[in-house]
Structure 1
Amino acid sequence: SLLLTVCPKIEFLALVNLDIAMSDSQTTMELSSSSLKNIYAEAISLDKFMLEADSLETLHLKDCTFEVFELVGKGTLRLLKIDDVSVIHLDIGESTENLEVVDVSNFTIMWAKFHHMISRSSKLRRLRLWGVVFDDEDEVVDLETISVCFPLLSHLSLCYDLRDGALQYGLQGLFQLENVVVLELGWTVISDLFSQWVAGLLQRCPNLRKLVIYGVVSEAKTHEECQLLANFTSSVVRLMRKYMHVEVQFEYE
């Protein structure tokens, strides 16, 4: 906070690989700024990070470990990006009303709690949940709730381990993602469920223009893995005959 006091008009702050020495057994950082608009934190480990920023628009956390992260703001946050972060208690308070982009990757979440935190973001246009792991193994992303809470959503990216529940619950209901024009879907471990999941999502995106499929293909492939990939490719070819207006792109690694 001393730095922010000395620089009262600072708008961008990057905290990278800080070596923080504390006399107290609990490492706590408290920052307060009325001018800060963008904060980037990378490779930081703290017990508690308290951030009070009335004008904050962009929050990007990468490769960090916190027991507690709390943001106190005034609803100016527009972009929230969390990448490979471990946090026990995440609270961004009342700062979500104007969120337009939420990008979460390599992160363990309790979906119900996380969704409640961003559910007031009616202006959300981009949602990316990539490589997420659920605290409760029975949890799935509730796409019907997403369609209701985020009516302006135009870009949806999803990649997580599929189970039967993803089809039974994730695609239940008669909802439509009316404004989604770009859909990005990926797998970490391919299964027969993936092509069914893709088909179910395509049915619910009537105005889709572009579909991007990301996949991980191991170098040492078993016969079963090769067969799954072949079956998936055939399924997509058949499926896309129904959606000739949609551009399809594959990205394998």
Structure 2
Amino acid sequence: MEYLPVEVIGNILSRLGAARDVVIASSTCRKWREAWRNHLHTLTFNSNDWPVYHELTRSRLEIIVTQTIFQTNGLRCLSIIMDDVDEFSAAPVIAWLMYTRETLRQLHYNVRTTPNINILEKCGRQRLEVLALAHNTITGVEPSYQKFPCLRSLSLSYVSISALDLSLFLTACPKVEALNLVSIDIVMSDPQATMEMTSNSLKDIYVEAISLDKIILEADSLEKLHLKDCTLEVFELVSKGSLRLLKIDDVSVIHLDIGESAENLEIVDVSNFTIMWSKFHHMIAKSSKLRRLRLWQVVFDDDDEAVDIETISACFPQLTHLSLSYELRETALHYGSQDSFQLENVAVLELGWTVISDLFSHWVAGLLERCPNLRKLVIYGVVSETKTHEECHTLANFTSFIVRLMRKYSHVDVQFEYE
């Protein structure tokens, strides 16, 4: 160990991450202390790393963080994740940011400050590449002054920000590629106003737990769109066809429009969502490159609707992975029993039920006939704790049916996932 260069020791200490572990390790000898002071590039203060953090007063914790940071030179990644701390005083937080701002590449910070400070002002015009903020308020964004020329990843969680400031913030980040918005409080000048976001560089956006009337996202380079647990009147995407992944999970939206962005879609994953099949299919019908389609626990707006398997076969010839789970009706058997089509490339088929019935058995059999190159079948089911005699009988019949059916498809790997 004595022959290790201090730069290597600095990398070793940086991989430890947790501030307490770094301090203990650096006390080994003078060489390790030198590595800590001059070659440490990653430092993390996380309340889950050390139980004593929970017992310290706010002022004592501020002193420890200050003393630790100020003994380093050249920090590139700083994380302060203190879930049990209600707030920090503004003065020490400003000191931490000003001390590290010229070398910092990543900042993860989730503690409120009193009074509120403008973190963008302290970190702007530097070489920051990753910024993750939580439990803060952002106001008065000035894109001409608070530039983030190198920022590639932005995450805002439980942050209060106006729709205008969020739009201006994106404008100030000309290279941002990933954007995460989780439970943010978006202040609108008019409750029915439209929130508009524009970015020419954005490739990946994740939006969770947001309620708004209308969102318009203009992102020519967007490749991944993930909406989760949102309530929206309208969501419109304006793009140039670069979208590869569309994921919607537990979202209530009246009008969803991805425009001309569907042509290069490879993955569509929709769960816990009410759809009108004709409109939904029209939205993704041009996705001839689609490889994975998942429609899980979806509810149809019209009781007479069902997923049209024949249309899926015709529109998505490259489909290799198909996952379906929804309430079955007689119409579903019709779609699974046509002789005029096959899902030639489907190798993995996942099928699920919430309420087991005899229809499910026939549905499975019909789909298996349509997948001549199937290699894996996964059956997902919900089995209630208190089962009636009828439910037990139906489940037993289904088990016997599958055993007989799979003798015909011995080359298929069958798995069962029950909850």
1:173 CA drift (Å): 4.3
After TM superposition, where is structure 1 displaced by more than 4 Å over at least 4 residues in a row? none
Residue 286 of structure 2 corresponds to 120
1:26 CA drift (Å): 1.2
Partners of 2:336 and 2:367 within 8 A in 1? no
From 237, 246, 251, the equivalent of 2:403 is: 237
Residue 72 of structure 1 corresponds to 238
TM-score (norm 2): 0.60
Cα pair distance change 1:231/1:215, threshold 3 Å: same
Aligned length: 253
| Aligned: 1:93 with 2:244 | no
From 161, 185, 194, the equivalent of 1:19 is: 185
Residue 356 of structure 2 corresponds to 190
Q: Distance in 2 between matches of 1:107 and 1:145?
A: 20
1:127 CA drift (Å): 0.2
TM-score (norm 1): 0.98
Instruction: Give, as a single letter, the amino acid of the residue that structure 1 aligns with 2:272.
Output: N
1:161 CA drift (Å): 0.3
Residues 87-166 of structure 1 mapped to structure 2, 5 A cutoff? 87-166=253-332
Residue 33 of structure 1 corresponds to 199
Instruction: Give, as a single letter, the amino acid of the residue that structure 2 aligns with 1:215.
Output: G
Partners of 2:336 and 2:363 within 8 A in 1? no
Residue 146 of structure 2 corresponds to none
Which SS does the other structure have where 1:189 is aligned?
Answer: coil
| Aligned: 1:208 with 2:387 | no
C-alpha root-mean-square deviation of aligned residues, in Å?
Answer: 0.8
Higher strand fraction (1 or 2): 1
Residue 251 of structure 1 corresponds to 417
Q: Distance in 1 between matches of 2:278 and 2:188?
A: 35
Which SS does the other structure have where 1:235 is aligned?
Answer: helix
Q: Distance in 1 between matches of 2:340 and 2:190?
A: 54
Instruction: Give, as a single letter, the amino acid of the residue that structure 2 aligns with 1:221.
Output: K
- Structure with the bigger RCO (C-alpha within 8 Å, sep 6+) is 1
Q: Distance in 1 between matches of 2:410 and 2:220?
A: 47
Higher Rg of the two aligned structures: 2
Which SS does the other structure have where 2:186 is aligned?
Answer: coil
Residue identity over aligned pairs, in percent, reads 80
Partners of 2:183 and 2:210 within 8 A in 1? yes
Map Cα deviations across residues 142-193 of structure 1 (whole Å, 9 max, x no partner).
1001001000000000000001111124543421000000000000111100
Q: Distance in 2 between matches of 1:23 and 1:53?
A: 24
Q: Distance in 2 between matches of 1:38 and 1:185?
A: 29
Residue 75 of structure 2 corresponds to none
Partners of 1:143 and 1:171 within 8 A in 2? no
Gaps of 5+ in 1: none
Q: Distance in 1 between matches of 2:366 and 2:199?
A: 46
Instruction: Give, as a single letter, the amino acid of the residue that structure 1 aligns with 2:348.
Output: V
Partners of 1:79 and 1:99 within 8 A in 2? yes
Q: Distance in 2 between matches of 1:173 and 1:49?
A: 43
Instruction: Give, as a single letter, the amino acid of the residue that structure 1 aligns with 2:273.
Output: F
Deviates more, 1:15-24 or 1:134-143: 15-24
Map Cα deviations across residues 80-127 of structure 1 (whole Å, 9 max, x no partner).
000000000000000000000000000000000000110000000000
Map Cα deviations across residues 124-144 of structure 1 (whole Å, 9 max, x no partner).
000000000000000011100
Instruction: Give, as a single letter, the amino acid of the residue that structure 1 aligns with 2:179.
Output: L
Partners of 1:142 and 1:171 within 8 A in 2? no
Partners of 1:140 and 1:170 within 8 A in 2? no
